Amino acid sequence: MLDKTSIIIPISLNDEIRAKLFRWVKSFYENVMPEVELCIGVANEKPFSKAKAINEAVRSSKGQYLVLADADIFYNPKLIEKSIEALAEHPWVIPYNEVLNVHRGSTDELIQTEPQWPVSIELDTRPRTHGPRLRGGINIVTRENFDLVGGFDERFTGWGGEDDAFASSLNHLCGHYKRLEGTIYHLWHPANNSSDENYKANIELLKRYSNKEAVLEEIRKREK
């Protein structure tokens, strides 16, 4: 199962704080899930394109199952196994219903430790109140369904919109996701800013992903 799985992590290494988190997270996968293929999508141009980084990493991957995971989260590796099992009956999976934000002090302390599960220190965390509604962070999908929706829309640049557009594409063309009970841990870093100059354009683009016909039209535009 895990030997047919590719972990896809998009990252920009321009931000040293996020780069430090990424190095710890990368080691976490290497230590606790050595069977998986780890594929890193690095996009250092500005503004950062998460969509482009994911698509490039997927193109270099070989796994039947794709775990699309942010570079600042970690979780019980059993969630991946449960998610892959759920893909037998569902088109894609969101493996959590709780997000715990790790406070800055705990984040600083944790990334000095050897990555393992369970982690070796007690974490100071705070629940993210809208965690049960989030659709990004980590998604598990078959390669077939990722390809069916054309991957991520690389017209999204900067912050916002790309995860929701991808989710809408999968929901409309492949079927609705299955959410599992599980917890993911989000490491502290300075917050993204919704005043990003690309944010407004991203939200306008996201509005086009409103129904099946609209999604198909947007995919056709991207393929031209």
The count of other CB atoms within 10 Å of the CB of residue 118 is 8
Q: What is the pLDDT of residue 195?
A: 54
Q: Please tell me the CATH code under which domain 2-223 is placed.
A: 3.90.550.10
Q: Which residues touch 211 (CB under 8 Å, ≥6 apart)?
A: 172
Of the candidates 185, 183, 179, 182, the one whose C-alpha atom is nearest the C-alpha of residue 86 is 179
- Type and span of the H or E element at 203: helix 199-206
Q: Which residues touch 71 (CB under 8 Å, ≥6 apart)?
A: 9, 10, 11, 18, 21, 22, 25
Parse the chain into domains and list their residue ranges.
2-223
pLDDT, tens only, 86-120: 999 999 999 999 999 999 999 999 999 999 999 99
pLDDT, tens only, 122-169: 999 999 877 567 888 999 999 999 999 999 999 999 888 999 999 999
Amino acid at 100: L
Res. 220: pLDDT tops 60:
yes
What pTM was estimated for this model as a whole?
0.94
Read off φ and ψ for residue 114, nearest 5 degrees: -75, 125
Of the candidates 185, 186, 203, the one whose C-alpha atom is nearest the C-alpha of residue 194 is 203
pLDDT, tens only, 64-82: 999 999 999 999 999 999 9
